[in-house]
Chain A
C-alpha cells in the first residue's frame, strides 16, 4: 500500500458520483436500509426485544417468528433489529473518537518535524498490539460498559488513522500554498485547520469507513467473549454467544445475527472501496 496519497478534497457531489459505481451503490443502498431498520426498530419489530415466552422457546423460523426464537422465547428478528442499533452506534462512536485522536496525533507528527519521531514511535508501539487483544485488556481495566468499549476500540484504531493523516500532512506541508500562508504570517493553528486538515479529509474518510467495518467486527467479538457491552443489551455478538449453546438444537439463533454482521461489514467495505477509487485514483488498483 502506498504510504503517501495525493490529497484531494471531498467534493459536494461525491455521493452522486459514488452512486455511479455499481458496487459502491449496492453498498450504500444496503447500508441505508440497515440504518433505517435500526432507527425504525420499534416500529418494524413485531415484538418487544425483551419479551419472554417460555411457551415458544427455540421455535424455528416461521411466519410468526421470521428468524425463529431463542432459548427464552424471544423473537430473534426483533433482537437482530435492536442489536443493529447497538452495533452501528458503537461503530460510529468508535470512528469519531478514533478520528479525533488520530487527527491530532497525525497532524502533529506530520506537521512538526521535531515531534515526528517520538509520535511515530508511539504509533508504532500501539500498532504492535493485536486489536481485539488490546481492546479486551483495556475493557478489563476500565470496566465493561458501552462507553468503555468505545474508548478501548477508539484507542485501538486511532493509530491507523494517525498514520494516514500523517502521510498526507507530510505531503501537504511542502505545498506552495502552505508556504505562502506561512509567509503571510498566518498563525500555525489556522494553517493546520484551514489548509492542512481540510485536505486530509479524503484519505481520512476512506480509512474511517474501513475502521467502521473493523469496529463492528471487533465489538461483536468482545460481546461474544462476554467482555464487552452488558449482556442485557441485545448485540449481535451476545446473540451468537447464546446461539452457540444451542447450536445442535437451534442453529438459526446464531445464523441470523452472524448474517447481519456480514451484510453490514460487507456494505461498509463496498462503500470504502468506492470512496477510495473515487477520491484517490492512484490507489484504485489496490482493490
Chain B
C-alpha cells in the first residue's frame, strides 16, 4: 500500500538523519581525533631522545669511544642528518612497524617487546580483574548504605590504599607471603620451560599488590556514580512498582551508573601499565616494565622509544574503544 510505503520511506529517512548519520559522524570525528593524537604521540617519543644534553651516542659509548664508533652508533640510532630528515625517517619506520634495533640485546625492538609481552599482559589483566571484583560490590554497597559504618570503613580503606606505593606493597607481600610463610617464590617467572600454571603462580602476589591498590580508584568512582543514580526518578519508579531492592539496585541503578565506571576501569588499565613498570622490577618478572627499566639504566634508547610508543599507542586505542563503547551503550552520546 502506498501509505505503508511512504511510512517506510519516512522511517528510513528518519533513521538516516537522526540515527545513522550522526553515529557515522561521531565515529569519523573520534577516528580523526585519534589519528591526530597518535601522530603527536610519535612526535613526543621522537623529541624525548633529542632533548638529551650532548650527543646520546657519545653518552652511550662512554669516554673511551672513538669518533668512528660514535658516528656508527649515531647512524644506527637514526641521529645522523638534519632534524627534519631524522623525523621523516623515524615516522616512515614507525608506520612500517619498524621500531629499530636494541643496542644491547642485538635484536629488533619489536621482537624484544613481543617476547616480554606475556607477563605484562597477564599481570595487567589479573590486577584489573582483582580490582574490579573488589571495587564493584564494595562501591555499590557503599553507595547503597551511604553514611553507614560499612561505607565509612570502605571509603577510608580506599583512600588508604590509594596512598600506598605499589612497589612497597609488593615488597611487603614478598616479605610476608614468600619469605616468612614460603607460599610463593620470592621472584621470577618460573624460568625457561616453566609450565603455564607455574608462571601463573608467580603472578599471584604482584597481581594482588597491584589489584588491591587499583581497586581504590574504581571503588570511589563506583560509589560516586551509584550515588548519582540512586535518587533518580526511574529508580523510585522501579521501587514503587514493588520490585525487589536487589533488582532495583543492580538492574536499574547499576546499568545507568555503568558509563563512568567503564571509563574509570579503562583508565585504571592504563594506570596499571605504569604500576607494572615498577612492580615487575620488584618481582623480577621478565615483562615490558622491567625491560624498560633496564633499557633506561643502559641507555638503550631504541627500546625506551619503542616501549613508550607501544604503551601510549595502546592507551589511545583503549580510549577510542571506550568511546565507541559509549556510542553503543548510550544512543544519546555524540562526539
Contacts and interface: CB of A to CB of B under 8 A. Distances in A.
A225 B281 contact: yes
Interface stretch (A12-20, A133-141, A166-174): A133-141
A132 B159 contact: no
A203 interface: no
Interface stretch (A49-57, A185-193, A261-269): A261-269
27 contacts: A1-B260, A121-B40, A124-B33, A125-B312, A128-B37, A128-B315, A130-B277, A130-B311, A133-B274, A133-B277, A136-B292, A137-B304, A139-B296, A141-B48, A220-B167, A225-B293, A225-B296, A243-B171, A244-B171, A247-B171, A258-B171, A261-B163, A262-B164, A269-B162, A273-B159, A285-B224, A287-B220
B273 A133 contact: yes
Contacts of A261: 163-165, 168
A286 B224 contact: yes
By Cβ-Cβ distance, the 7 closest A-B pairs, closest first, are A130-B274, A125-B40, A266-B163, A265-B163, A258-B168, A128-B312, A140-B296
Nearest to B175: A247
- What is the predominant secondary structure among interface residues of chain B facing chain A? helix
A124 B52 CA distance: 24
A269 B159 contact: yes
Contacts of B175: 247-248, 251
Contacts of B171: 240, 243-244, 247, 254, 258
A141 B165 contact: no
Given A129-B44, A270-B159, A227 B174 contact: no
Contact of B53 (A140, A142, A265): A142
Given A128-B37, A133-B277, A258-B172, A227 B163 contact: no
Contact of A124 (B37, B221, B270): B37
Interface string B263-297: 00000001101110110011000000000110011
Contacts of B223: 287
A227 B37 contact: no
Nearest to A214: B162
Nearest to A141: B52
B28 interface: no
B258 interface: no
B41 interface: yes
Nearest to B52: A141
Interface string A239-279: 01001100110010011001001100110011001000000
A16 B254 CA distance: 38
Interface string B296-311: 1101000010011001
Interface in A197-235: 213, 217, 220-221, 224-227
A224 B160 contact: no
A129 B305 CA distance: 12
Contacts of A286: 220, 224
Interface string B30-74: 000100110011011000110111001000000000000000000
B227 interface: yes
Contacts of B274: 130-133
A287 B162 CA distance: 13
A224 to B, nearest CB: 6
Given A221-B278, A240-B168, A266-B163, A130 B270 contact: yes
Given A121-B37, A133-B311, A142-B51, A240 B316 contact: no
A269 B157 CA distance: 13
A140 B223 CA distance: 39
B278 A224 contact: yes
Interface in A24-53: none
B132 interface: no
Nearest to B168: A258
Interface-central residue, B160, B174, B308, by most chain A CB under 10 Å: B308
B214 interface: no
